Amino acid sequence: MPYFSALVVVACTRDCYDTCIFTPKAAGGRLLDLAPTRSFPTLGFTCARGRADVKRLYSSARLKRPLMRRGDQFVEISWERAVQELALRLRAADPQRVLHIDYDGNQGLLTWYYPARLFNAIGASSTDYSICSAEGHSALKLHWGRSWGLLPEELAAARAVVFWGVNALVSFIHGWALTKRARRAAVDVVMTETLKASDLPVVVRPGTDVVLALGIARRIIDAEAYDRRFIERYTYGFDEFKRYVQKFTDQVVEEETGVTRDVLDGLTEIYLSGAKTVIGFALGRTLNGGEAIRAISLIHALLGDPLGFFYSNSGAWEIDFDYLRGYHVGRPSRVVPMGLVGRQIGEFDVVYVWNANPVMTLPQGDRICEAAARGDIFLAVHDIVMSETAQCADLVLPAPTYLEKDDVVYSYWHQLLVYNKAVVEPIGESKPEHWVVREVGKAMGLGDHVLLSEDPWRAVDIALRKTGVSLDLLIRRRVLAMRRGDPLEFPTPTRKLEFYSTQAAKAGLSPLPSYERPSGRPTLVFTSDPKYTNTQFFDEYGEPEPVVYSNPRQAPEGVVCLERDGVAVKVKLRWDPEVPEGVLLARGIFKDLAGRPVSSIVDGTPNPYGGTPRINSTVVAVRNCE
């Protein structure tokens, strides 16, 4: 692994597989540039977001002082007053009616995880952190007992790779680069940049990936190309799985997914050649998403490859996130699915947001603003810029970027753990997240509470103890590699890789990957935009245009309304013959022509395993609204 001790480096903290590592160039207390390190796996290049971080640091949009709402305006206040105001609101509220909303806007251990300690100290409510990858983690654990897999160097050594439900050319650029010598297939519901660049592009109908995966599994079994010795020694329930997949014939696969037999032949052959799979988070945000992830992973179980897939390695390092959040002492009194926060926002009195922009990113997130405008909730937001959520808040607190504070950053892809030392002084009066919650705790009389009195860095040190990395050594060397567990250990009830999930059966769920036929009505699907990470970088690159793309045979061009459950957004519809019928494609998150978040019509129905909402299975009606 690379050794960085001679370098001053910082890791990007964005919610991204790559977690690029940069060498900062500064002079006179001002950051001039962030140069991607040439070491593996950053390899000397980065994305448009990484290149814009210096601009973002010094953006005129940065928040510099605490702000308090006065009618339709904000006025500057002191930090002392801001802390006292928030403490007063929290003290006066029933803890169960206090909700904190946070997610992966910054993946630093102190920035994201530690602040939850204040809310767990008082027994407040929390979200379930399900918006992105939870469905896949839970689905994979049903069979494997874990959700981690391939490391970058193992992906780079693959002879063939299938990118399934991930637009890697946009959202996983280093993973794509590492596979340039491999034969590549890509599976998605639209012809993405990744499919266009692949040796075998495979377009499936939304919600039918599970059928395709089970059809491939049946072909492998029928050809007796599975690894008998591996299955006999390490797995449970193969016979049940073998019988089950027989109904997924080539004819059924083609009828349900739209994938022809010739393409199915090609994809099966790629798997039989020893292909690895990169399984995208987007699958978990669809109808049958968890089922698809289960089925795809079991292709590798058939082939005797316990490291055949990569989904997320966040669980591989054994960082004790629960300890950082304070779960060893106190837990949330209530947990709200992220897909249902908008619907249930009226059940809370105080809402505190950091590291997230829920008005834009959560289904029906605009209801948070509506509740704040009515005075139903007191909304406090800690952010770098005046996000859409901050704009409707009662109290806005300025946060530093990752370049202005010390933290420890991990990747959910590679093994490198990075100590980020602040490159420049904080802009204005911005304060780090852990400082804010500890000060508010003191103002509430909780300064001596075990969760808030413990030094944040000691908490980080304890949380890292199972990773093979000590905080002291990390601070000195800046970058160290964490260890990964044994891929032949399966922490399931049978201690084996389970084709037939005993956990699912016990919970009343399908022990084998199941299939619910989609409605066939127009489905809104979101794909990544290379300039943005959700709503980050709107200020640097400008807000995206409110456009959806449709097949010409599906709807007329022009201004249309997309409607779901009586709520509509007004957008521009443009033709793209590469978009299949039945799909409406949105490139990222945006506000409609009237300023309403497109997320206001997104389906928040939780999926069955990790609760991830079915964002990419949002069935809409298209109508003329000019």
pLDDT in tens, 263-279: 999 999 999 999 999 99
Same domain, 474 and 597: no
- On the question of pLDDT at 8 being above 90, the answer is no
User: What does the mean pLDDT of the chain come to?
Assistant: 95
Domain end marker among 419, 452, 481? 481
Convert the pLDDT of each residue in 481-522 to its tens digit. 999 999 999 999 999 999 999 999 999 999 999 999 999 899
206-215 pLDDT tens trace:
999 999 999 9
Interval 134-154 mean pLDDT: 98
Dihedral class, residue 486 (left if φ above 0, else alpha if ψ from -120 to 50, else beta): beta
**How many CA atoms are closer than 13 Å to the CA of 426, on its beta-carbon side?**
15
- pLDDT value for 535: 57
Classified as helix, coil or strand, 419 is: strand
Mean pLDDT of all residues in 13-26:
94
Residue 144 domain flag: no
Q: What's the sign of the alpha-carbon dihedral 384, 397, 440, 534?
A: negative
Confidence of residue 539 (pLDDT cuts 50, 70, 90): low
Co-location of 53 and 106 in the same domain = no
Residue 483 has phi, psi (to 5 degrees) of: -95, 155
Are 397 and 446 found together in one domain? yes
Residue 475, pLDDT above cutoff 60: yes
Token pair, residue 162, equals: 């299938």
Q: Is residue 610 part of a domain?
A: yes
Tell me the per-residue pLDDT of 330-341, one tens digit each, with 9 for 90 and over.
Answer: 999 999 999 999
Residue 25's beta-bridge partner residues?
33
Judge if 390 and 452 occupy the same domain: yes
What's the CATH number where 619 sits?
2.40.40.20
Regarding whether 293 and 396 lie in a shared domain, the answer is no
Q: What CATH number does residue 304 fall under? A: 3.40.228.10
Quick one: 452 and 532 in the same domain? no
The amino acid occupying position 277 is T
- CA distances in angstroms from 58 to 111, 328, 548, listed in the order given: 20, 39, 32
Write the pLDDT tens digit of every residue in 566-610: 999 999 999 999 999 999 999 887 899 999 999 999 999 999 999
Backbone angles phi, psi at 167, to 5 degrees: -90, 75
Domain of residue 343, residue span: 67-131+331-481
Domain annotation covers residue 379: yes
CATH code at 104?
3.40.50.740
Can you give the pLDDT at residue 21?
97
Residue 6, pLDDT > 80, answer: no
CA distance between the termini of the chain: 59
Cβ–Cβ under 8 Å, residues 379 and 387: no
> Which position has the token pair 């994809």?
267
As given in the structure block, the two tokens for residue 326 are: 């304070």
Q: What is residue 2's predicted lDDT score, i.e. its pLDDT? A: 40
For residue 39, tell me if it sits in a domain.
Answer: yes
> Which pLDDT score, from 0 to 100, does residue 536 have?
57
| Lowest-confidence region among 68-77, 305-314, 446-455, 549-558 | 549-558
Q: Is residue 250 part of a domain?
A: yes
Whether 477 and 396 share a structural domain: yes
- Report the distance separating Cα 349 and Cα 603, nearest Å: 25
Are 584 and 477 part of one and the same domain?
Answer: no
Can you tell me the distance from the alpha carbon of 614 to that of 514, in angstroms, rounded to the nearest whole number? 16
Cα–Cα distance between 285 and 270 in angstroms, integer?
A: 26
171 and 307 assigned to the same domain: yes
Q: How far apart are CA 39 and CA 71, in angstroms?
A: 52
pLDDT tier at 1, thresholds 50, 70, 90: very low
Burial profile 570-580: b = 16 or more Cβ within 10 angstroms, e = fewer = bbebeeeeebb
> Is position 614 within any domain?
yes
Dump pLDDT digits (tens) for 324-378.
999 999 999 999 999 999 999 999 999 999 999 999 999 999 999 999 999 999 9
Whether 489 is in a domain gets the answer no
- Kindly state whether residue 40 falls inside one of the protein's structural domains: yes
Query: How far is 104 from 112, CA to CA, in rounded Å?
Result: 7
pLDDT of residue 588: 83
The strands making up 73-76's β-sheet, listed across from edge to edge, are 73-76, 67-70, 395-398, 378-383, 350-354, 98-102, 125-127, 334-336
Q: Among 481, 502, 536, where does a domain finish?
A: 481
Residue 545 has pLDDT above 60, yes or no: yes
Nearest-angstrom CA–CA distance, 82 and 394 = 11
Residues 465 and 342 both lie in one domain:
yes
User: Of the residues 281, 311, 341, which one is the last residue of a structural domain?
Assistant: 311
Percent of the chain with pLDDT over 70: 96
119 pLDDT more than 50: yes
Same domain for 391 and 464, yes or no, is yes
Can you point out the beta strands (E) in 269-393? 276-279, 309-310, 334-336, 350-354, 378-383
Partners of 269 in the β-ladder: none
pLDDT at 473: 97
Residue 48: pLDDT band (50, 70, 90) is confident
pLDDT of residue 5: 41
Q: Which of 111, 33, 602 is nearest to 383 (CA)?
A: 111
Total structural domains within the chain: 4
DSSP character at residue 109? I
Residue appearing with tokens 């009066």? 429
**Cα distance between residue 287 and residue 141, in whole Å:** 19
Same domain, 200 and 181: yes
